[in-house]
């Protein structure tokens, strides 16, 4: 038996699980959320014990040190010595054209991850920070990188190429890479288990602070909303999603923005934050309920963008067996699910309002009985998927 610590550093959160492999027993788990805010929260669970603390969490380094403190706590911890952890599996968002498989991390790998900062400025920096802090705290553990881009290697050329000069693809590898691949892979496999068939046409909808949507046909990713970098597609917490390129040119040529300033705006100041002043959907839903028109419109825009992608992917696959909602918002926001599925009868989506309103951590079906297209809520478990791939690297 080997203890695998899985670290999943998101743009504003850090999820972790300590998993005994190959039994897949979760020894401890938790979440540090709202990183960068004074209202950060640290959640920790081990067996029947659980705790939640509110505290300022300045950055991902502070978050990981808090996680380690809990794991090694004399009373509530589950390990006494860092040497009890055999390997640490790190979620890394962008592998570029270099990393298409899970890999043991060394200085060369870290250098390449750093080179890719410009392609995933919200994620690769905290991913690398998590690796560096883990190396410091657990020097004896093997550090393993699992890349979000790997699942999307199956996207065919007709979908992963941009209509720009070929030399930019041939020499610079500018193409669709895709992200959240570990999550989309996990939930699509679970959906196929629920459907009792691997030969399916699915649309998996990953909604968190970062959002993406994937067309999955017969277990393979065949199209995806995020592309060369993680800012395209759906409207996100602070990222714009799809935008007319002319807007960028206009901002630079006529409004005096630099390219760096535009990039910062599209990554950090747009999306739901730019529309409402809030980046957390829970705050936006609360404000919308109170009559805040900006928040109401932002929710409508968010759902409308998702609906368009579902329709487009159903057309691309010439069919649709199920839509899967996952990740923090997808799993917990009955509001977004309801708005997305409203008036989608033409595609066969018929939401059961009562089932949709139930909070649960279980895989569940929320469509009306007899609906031709199933609607699933499947909690993602990127950590288990990462643990499996990390454990394989110890062989």
Residues carrying an active site annotation:
148
In the block, which residue shows the tokens 């708005």?
339
C-beta separation of 15 from 23 below 8 A: no
Rounded Cα gap, residues 145 and 91, in angstroms: 6
C-beta separation of 329 from 236 below 8 A: no
Angle at 285 between CA 281 and CA 287, to 5 degrees: 115
Alpha carbon distances (Å) from 137 to 31, 64, 133, 203:
19, 10, 6, 40
Angle at 355 between CA 322 and CA 284, to 5 degrees: 90
Classify strands 201-207 and 220-224 as parallel, antiparallel or unpaired.
Answer: unpaired
Rounded Cα gap, residues 116 and 390, in angstroms: 22
Rounded Cα gap, residues 191 and 197, in angstroms: 9
Half-sphere exposure (Cβ direction) of 281: Cα atoms closer than 13 Å: 25
Rounded Cα gap, residues 152 and 206, in angstroms: 14
Give counts: helices (H), strands (E), the chain. 15, 14
C-beta separation of 144 from 85 below 8 A: no
- Residue from 6, 81, 14 nearest 41 by CA: 14
For the beta carbon of residue 169, count every other beta carbon within 10 angstroms. Answer: 15
- Residue from 304, 310, 301 nearest 223 by CA: 310
């Amino acid at each position: 038996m080997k203890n695998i610590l899985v670290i999943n550093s998101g743009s504003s959160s850090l999820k972790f699980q300590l998993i005994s492999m190959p039994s897949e027993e979760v020894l401890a788990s938790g979440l540090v959320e709202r990183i960068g805010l004074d209202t950060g929260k640290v959640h920790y669970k081990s067996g029947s014990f659980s705790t939640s603390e509110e505290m300022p969490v300045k950055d991902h380094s502070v978050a990981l040190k808090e996680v380690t403190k809990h794991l090694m706590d004399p009373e509530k911890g589950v390990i006494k010595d860092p040497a009890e952890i055999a390997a640490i599996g790190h979620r890394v968002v962008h592998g570029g054209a270099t990393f298409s498989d899970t890999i043991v991390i060394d200085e060369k790998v870290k250098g390449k991850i750093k080179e890719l900062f410009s392609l995933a400025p919200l994620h690769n920096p905290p991913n690398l920070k998590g690796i560096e802090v883990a190396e410091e705290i657990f020097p004896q553990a093997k550090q393993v990188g699992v890349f979000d881009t790997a699942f999307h290697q199956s996207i065919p050329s007709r979908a992963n190429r941009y209509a720009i000069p070929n030399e930019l693809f041939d020499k610079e590898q500018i193409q669709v890479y895709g992200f959240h691949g570990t999550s989309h892979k996990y939930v699509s496999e679970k959906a196929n288990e629920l459907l009792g068939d691997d030969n399916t046409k699915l649309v998996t909808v990953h909604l968190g602070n970062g959002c993406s949507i994937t067309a999955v046909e017969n277990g393979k990713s065949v199209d995806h909303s995020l592309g060369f970098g993680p800012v395209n597609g759906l409207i996100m917490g602070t990222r714009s999603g799809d935008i007319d390129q002319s807007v960028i040119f206009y901002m630079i040529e006529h409004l005096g923005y630099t390219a760096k300033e535009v990039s910062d705006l599209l990554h950090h100041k747009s999306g739901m934050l730019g529309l409402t002043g809030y980046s957390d959907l829970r705050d936006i839903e609360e404000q919308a309920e109170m009559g805040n028109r900006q928040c109401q419109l932002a929710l409508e825009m968010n759902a409308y963008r998702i609906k368009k992608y579902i329709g487009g992917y159903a057309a691309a696959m010439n069919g649709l067996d199920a839509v899967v909602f996952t990740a923090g918002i997808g799993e917990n926001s009955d509001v977004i699910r309801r708005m997305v599925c409203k008036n989608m009868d033409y595609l066969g989506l018929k939401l059961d309002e009562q089932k949709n309103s139930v909070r649960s951590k279980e895989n569940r079906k929320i469509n009306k009985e007899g609906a031709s297209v199933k609607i699933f809520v499947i909690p993602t478990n990127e950590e288990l998927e990462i643990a499996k791939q990390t454990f394989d690297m110890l062989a």
